[in-house]
Amino acid sequence: MKLVKSAKFAYTGNEEVTRLLETFRSMVNDAIRVGLESKTKSRFSLVKLCYHDLRQRYGLHQTYAGAACEVAFSIIKKHQKWQRRPYAGRLMLKIDDCRAYKLSYLLLRIPIAPGHYTFLQLRGGEHQLSMLRDPSLKLSALLITPDSVDIMVSKEVLEPMKTEGKDAYDLNIANVTGVSTSSKEPMVYDVSDIVRFNKKYAQVLSHFRRNDRRIGKRLAAKYGRKRRNRTKSLLHVVSKRIVQSAAKDKHTIVLEKLTHIRKRHERGRQRERRATRHAINTWPFWILQKAIKYKAAWEQIPVEFIDPKNTSRTCSACGSVNKRLRFEREWRCPSCGAMLSRDVNAARNLLNRSLGVQAMRFVAGGLVGEAMVRGAPRGAPPIVDASQPGSPSAGAVSSAESVVQLGRRK
């Protein structure tokens, strides 16, 4: 399987690069016009219609004609979905063929016309330089904007590694809480700044009183860009630490399957405060899960997605469901009396479901490896002894032995 990653570099532009970006944007808009008139259904048919005409009209290097058609087709498909008029407004440049440009350490040479080149001096940190020094990575496509250069690198990855345990994570608007089969302590990553970012920039925009729609749109775009950048930066740090922890212990990462989570928090569907509903509907769950997924694939770490239904309401010590639980952060199980943290309890239930057991029971002076098999009657659950080699859940229960110690929190 081929995986692609990008390294972003800064650079100082010049008039020649700016003209090249503007010309490429004109090529994309011409290709969009041809695609709309001919109603093309594929990128290859658009290339056949526009390639030679774009080369003759603009006189740029041959790689730009095909790249402009590819960008134009993606814009057409995206705007058809959103029912908008397709148009390329941003200045950008794409080079698909790595043989068209040359990179010598931080000096980038890109073509303009046949036999005519320009040079860009890149600036990057140790993370970007380490990707360029890695001999296992191959250079791929190139994306240039007025203030940055994104260099794509790729590598071939074999099947995911064989893991020795699992890490399960529960996503919340204030933190990301995880439990592991090899650690007694929960792993908590603070992401409460995301809610603060959303609230701060929403307040700034609400104070804009001028009756000028153009300035209002510019301010909204400016502060929205700041909010997205700060949010993505924080989530990338959290996802990196999660993947590093799993790679160090050779563990599988277990996440929640949050399909249609925003529909469950629409107005009128359930009783909750307006601020809570707004925080949930503006929290970028998929951005974090996507970052974890591609970083884990880069390290050959498998990722599982588990249905999170009733993970917060189910007692991870006895398996009973507390249907009266609302928004309490800590609650006591009415069946077994265990004092549970809402976030840690949800993460433990995700881990239990991934391991194939219903609950890990903590019994003072008893066996740590006792588990309740999924689907067992609540009154008299069959006990599986993890010490017996022939037990069907011996491997799963033994790997989760340390997590059982989280059963009761005072």
User: Which band of pLDDT confidence, cut at 50, 70 and 90, is reported for residue 31?
Assistant: very high
User: Which band of pLDDT confidence, cut at 50, 70 and 90, is reported for residue 375?
Assistant: very low
For the entire predicted model, the pTM comes to: 0.74
Tens digits of residue pLDDT in 66-119: 999 999 999 998 887 767 788 888 899 999 988 999 998 899 999 999 889 999
Measuring CA to CA, how many Å separate 279 from each of 57, 192, 258, 267, 346? 50, 10, 16, 13, 19
Going by C-alpha positions, the residue among 12, 252, 4 that lies closest to residue 140 is 4
CA distance 331 to 341: 7
Burial class (CB in 10 A: 0-12, 13-18, 19+), 400: buried
Average pLDDT over residues 42-53: 92
The pLDDT, as a whole number, for residue 160 is 84
Q: What letters, b where the CB count within 10 A reaches 16 and e where it falls short, cover 309-345?
A: eebbbbbbbbbbebeebeeeeebebeebebebbbbbb
User: Which band of pLDDT confidence, cut at 50, 70 and 90, is reported for residue 374?
Assistant: very low
* Beta pairing partners, 360: 371
Instruction: Using the predicted structure, report yes or no on whether residue 393 has a pLDDT greater than 50.
Output: no
Structure tokens at 116: 């005519």
Measuring CA to CA, how many Å separate 48 from each of 6, 44, 356? 29, 6, 53
User: Which band of pLDDT confidence, cut at 50, 70 and 90, is reported for residue 381?
Assistant: very low
Measuring CA to CA, how many Å separate 369 from each of 78, 124, 271, 330? 52, 50, 39, 25
CA distance 145 to 17: 10
Identify the weakest region by mean pLDDT among 66-70, 142-146, 211-215, 344-348: 211-215
CA distance 252 to 180: 10
CA distance 251 to 244: 10
The pLDDT, as a whole number, for residue 48 is 92
Identify the weakest region by mean pLDDT among 11-20, 211-220, 301-310, 350-359: 350-359
Identify the weakest region by mean pLDDT among 14-28, 227-241, 325-339: 325-339
CA distance 202 to 281: 14
Tens digits of residue pLDDT in 65-80: 999 999 999 999 888 7
Number of other CB atoms surrounding residue 219 within 10 Å: 16
Average pLDDT over residues 31-56: 91
**Cβ atoms of residues 189 and 241 within 8 Å:** yes
The pLDDT, as a whole number, for residue 406 is 37
Going by C-alpha positions, the residue among 379, 354, 367, 356 that lies closest to residue 407 is 367
Identify the weakest region by mean pLDDT among 44-53, 58-67, 300-309, 396-405: 396-405
The pLDDT, as a whole number, for residue 94 is 94
The pLDDT, as a whole number, for residue 395 is 38
Q: What angle do CA 339, 345, 347 make, to 5 degrees?
A: 160
Instruction: Using the predicted structure, report yes or no on whether residue 379 has a pLDDT greater than 70.
Output: no
Average pLDDT over residues 162-184: 89
**Cβ atoms of residues 152 and 6 within 8 Å:** yes
Number of other CB atoms surrounding residue 228 within 10 Å: 14
How does DSSP assign 100-150, residue by residue?
GSEEETTEEEEEEETTEEEEEEEE--HHHHHHHH-TT-EEEEEEE-SSEEE
Going by C-alpha positions, the residue among 407, 368, 365 that lies closest to residue 384 is 368
**In the chain, what are the domains?**
2-156 (no CATH), 165-306 (3.30.420), 330-406 (no CATH)
Cα dihedral 272, 275, 278, 282 sign: negative
CA distance 228 to 135: 33
Look up residue 410 and give its amino acid.
K
Average pLDDT over residues 226-239: 91
3-state percent breakdown (helix, strand, coil) of the chain, nearest 5: 40, 20, 35
CA distance 67 to 98: 12
β-strand 138-144 against 93-95: which pairing, if any? antiparallel
The pLDDT, as a whole number, for residue 302 is 93
Identify the weakest region by mean pLDDT among 13-22, 44-53, 139-148, 394-403: 394-403
**Cβ atoms of residues 303 and 292 within 8 Å:** yes
The pLDDT, as a whole number, for residue 286 is 87
Q: Report the Cα–Cα distance between both ends of the chain, in Å, rounded.
A: 47
The pLDDT, as a whole number, for residue 326 is 77
**Residue scoring higher pLDDT (323 or 254):** 254
CA distance 208 to 203: 9
Tens digits of residue pLDDT in 277-302: 677 777 788 889 999 999 999 999 99
